[in-house]
Amino acid sequence: MTSRRLFTGRLLCTSLAISATLGLAPVAAFAQAKLKVAGIYTVPYEQQWVSRIHKALKAAEARGEIEYKSSENVANADYERVMREYANGGNQLVFGEVFGVESAARKVAKDFPKTAFVMGSSGKPQAPNFSVFDNYIQEPAYLTGMIAGGMTKTNKIGMVGGFPIPEVNRLMHAFMAGAKEVNPKVEFTVTFINSWFDPPKAKEATFAMIDKGADVLYAERFGVSDAAKEKGKLAIGNVIDTQPQYPDTVVASALWHMEPSVDRAIGLVKAGKFTAEDYGPYSMMKHKGSSLAPLGTFEKKVPADVVAKVKAREAEILAGKFTVKVDDSQPKSTAK
């Protein structure tokens, strides 16, 4: 018995030595190893957009699938350096958003061809290892627009966005189209604060819209709902559901779920099949990458005929019978 154990032990050691010599990882060790994943964000974790990526990666970490490290509030000037540090640190998959540092980020990806990058970007994928994504949640944005069009009493809706880039523009256009479907008389005032995270500035812009008669506000940025709450107006949320914090203010929200994209990337890297691709479509409703938040506290306050129209349109979207137009151009105010 003892001899057999010694022989088995020697055989195992010999196999491991051969594997190491040939550069092959032992199957058992590879299967048990956690994927090293990093996240690099230019804003705080609580910012709506970034919070969705962080949440999905934390969920994968909680399941024991990955080892996750991340950095928040990384300045554009430091972004390339941080990317290189994480890549040099052995991270096999890196998530982030590079809208302001496209060229630098793509240069890093070229220098680390064996590292998988999945980055929020306005550009195209870059072979072999730079995938892109953004929040293609124009479908639920359209549905929230329908609700807003049915809730406004003044027919004036205010919209506050961060920057007029495609990722923001397409959501605003979808929202406006949804509102117009239900209420052709509605007018829009559109303002961009030129910041991804400046609640006081967004709040100030919202107050100006309310002073001009807007009674429903599209909260693409934090700070809008605070202003609406203070003035007794209504707000429509974006990316996350803030109704629990604003139960008498936030009527509905277009939710973004990054889990389908994150889980796909993790699976492909683990399988050794990761390639550069556009993950944008995985944020659409058919992939469970986005959804309309429950009306919750406003379930009985939204007119029944509007709710019926929204549910019918939602069903058509999921069935592929209705397509929300993607318009990346900068939206303009229509209010006189």
Q: What is the DSSP string of 301-314?
A: TS-HHHHHHHHHHH
Burial 10-49 (b: 16+ CB within 10 A, else e): eeeeeeeeeeeeeeeeeeeeeeeeebbbbbbbbbeeebbb
pLDDT of residue 48: 85
pLDDT of residue 72: 97
Sort strands 290-292 and 250-256 into parallel, antiparallel or unpaired.
Answer: antiparallel
Q: What is the CA radius of gyration of the chain?
A: 24
Show the beta-strand stretches assigned E in 130-204: 130-133, 156-161, 187-192
Tell which residue, 307, 310, 325, 302, has the closest CA to residue 216. 302
pTM: 0.85
Residue 89: exposed, middle, or buried by beta-carbon count in 10 A (0-12, 13-18, 19+)?
exposed
pLDDT of residue 23: 37
pLDDT of residue 143: 98
- Give the Cα separation of 235 and 233 in Å (integer): 7
Residue 71: exposed, middle, or buried by beta-carbon count in 10 A (0-12, 13-18, 19+)?
middle
Which positions of the chain have pLDDT values less than 50?
1-31
H-helix or E-strand spanning residue 37? strand 35-40
User: Running DSSP on this structure, what letter comes out for residue 192?
Assistant: E
pLDDT of residue 76: 95
Is there a contact between 249 and 228 (Cβ–Cβ < 8 Å)? yes
Give the number of residues written for the chain.
336
